[in-house]
Amino acid sequence: MNSSIYKVGIIGLGQIAYSIDDDSSRDIIWSHALAYTTHPGTEIVAVCDIDSNRIDGFKDKYGDLNEYTEYKDMLIEEDLDIISICAPT
């Protein structure tokens, strides 16, 4: 059995990335961040958003990690196994 921890990067720090979990009427996991942090095989190591306030809000909730405002920089500098793109389509 492989006991590796997969390193995760999240691009876009809006509702589906993490803030939807602040809605107290939801009683299951909805966000990417909460899914990753509750799974024993994953660790969020980097996040990216063009809005530094969103980065700060994410870090307030999930702790200190590598932060980027340019996704290309994150992809170049981080050795990620999983990338969640949480941006509007």
Q: What is the pLDDT of residues 12-62, one digit of tens each?
A: 999 999 988 888 888 889 999 999 999 999 999 999 999 999 999 999 999
CATH fold for domain 6-85? Rossmann fold (3.40.50)
Whole-angstrom distance, CA of residue 58 vs CA of residue 52: 10
pTM of the model: 0.91
In the prediction, which pLDDT does 2 show? 60
Edge-first strand listing for the sheet containing 82-85: 66-68, 42-48, 6-11, 82-85
In the prediction, which pLDDT does 1 show? 44
Place of tokens 């389509």: 89
| Domain parsing of the chain, residue ranges | 6-85
Per-residue tokens: 20: 């939807």
